[in-house]
Chains A and B, each alone.
Chain A
């Protein structure tokens, strides 16, 4: 029995010790951060031009620059962390990152698990097909094979129109497969599709399906941080920083609500 007690005690010790590491730093105003001096935000790095890496693996893109601007506004050191898109919500929930600036569309399913800031850009999914395709609108998608990125809201968008859905790790891989002759269509953000077409993918945009609002993802148990991020976003909107970053990447301002 002595051996058993030892075992139980040592595992308890391990749990408490490691559990201590999981505790976030608490700031004076009640907001919690992994480290009190940094703002660790997640991005996928596989969603050009919103989030991608340079050839030396430094993270950049619209999302990442917005994240950096927000961090500066908060008076914190920005730390961009790359997590595969489908793991980001879980990552924010479990404290792998303080927040995510990763083009997350606000939707009820995600809202059950995480909190959203105010939208930092407005966009919408579009149908992409090969140039010779007859598909024009969502009605033509019935029974067709549609590819989307795992964990994106486009999967549920696609489900409304067809039962035949293929999942990919990233939107770019899905578009690449489409361009290479697989599947009938891909549903993805119109900016992403447009960029891929510019890069030489043999694809064409068809119907713009709906409007969506993209926001910063935060843990639900951190209302004070949410409040501060919203204040920071509002300041960046007012002083034109958001619009400036948008024009830099898209040549247009996608950060104001369209009519």
Chain B
């Protein structure tokens, strides 16, 4: 284990590089979460639709994504399909992460939508709302609030999963840490430093999700 003073010196001496890397990690995470939410909502709606085929499509997507490791998916987007078209490095990583997060988010949305009492839909329908409007105005807002805690969890997982982009040449936090560690023959110090950066990011993300939860809880009263 490195001494504390050595750790601290290295930490303060490397902030410039790590902040750049942190911004890239944040960009990757933000894109992958936002696109993941859209994908997730889309497939959750397919799943709960009355058309059986759409439900199957959603099942297949979730199965493929959950059934293969994220690193495999990243390599497929980076190398595998480059014969057909070449995604830029950033988008190969971001889209792989988004597709991955999307499957888990789809399951979160499906679960929470189905957890809303049947009576809500029946009441809305009996007031004359068409099904799509009832879904949009009555079911989804309630489901979204219930989805927040598991979503926050998924965002944190997504943030940490972005470290796998290191394997396709993205200079994000993990890649910078292992590279500097290996070049300075000092891996443990840099791994501890990168752990600090991830802890800070996760703390901020947790805070944001909590704030959002509180805000939505107020509208509940």
Contact = CB atoms under 8 A, between A and B. Distances in A.
Interface of A: 15, 18-19, 21-22, 45-46, 48, 52-53, 55-57, 81-84, 87, 90-91, 94-96, 169-170, 172-173, 176, 196, 199-201
B19 to A, nearest CB: 12
A57 B185 contact: no
Interface centre among A19, A53, A81, by most chain B C-beta atoms within 10 angstroms, is A53
Contacts of B79: 87, 90-91, 94, 96
Interface centre among B82, B169, B171, B176, by most chain A C-beta atoms within 10 angstroms, is B169
Given A55-B13, A55-B184, A84-B167, 10 more contacts: A46-B183, A53-B179, A55-B14, A56-B17, A57-B17, A82-B171, A87-B167, A95-B82, A96-B86, A201-B185
Given A87-B169, A94-B82, A172 B180 contact: no
A176 B20 CA distance: 27
Contacts of A95: 82, 86
Given A15-B85, A21-B85, A57 B182 contact: no
B3 to A, nearest CB: 15
Contacts, number: 87
B87 interface: yes
B12 interface: no
B85 A45 contact: no
B187 interface: yes
B17 A94 contact: no
A106 B193 CA distance: 38
Interface of B: 13-14, 16-17, 20, 78-79, 82-89, 166-169, 171, 176, 178-180, 182-185, 187
Contacts of B89: 96
A138 B168 CA distance: 35
Contacts of B179: 45-46, 53, 57, 82
Contact of A55 (B17, B85, B87, B169): B17
Contact of A170 (B16, B169, B171, B182): B182
A236 B127 CA distance: 83
Nearest to A59: B179
A199 B182 CA distance: 11
A81 B185 contact: no
Nearest to B18: A57
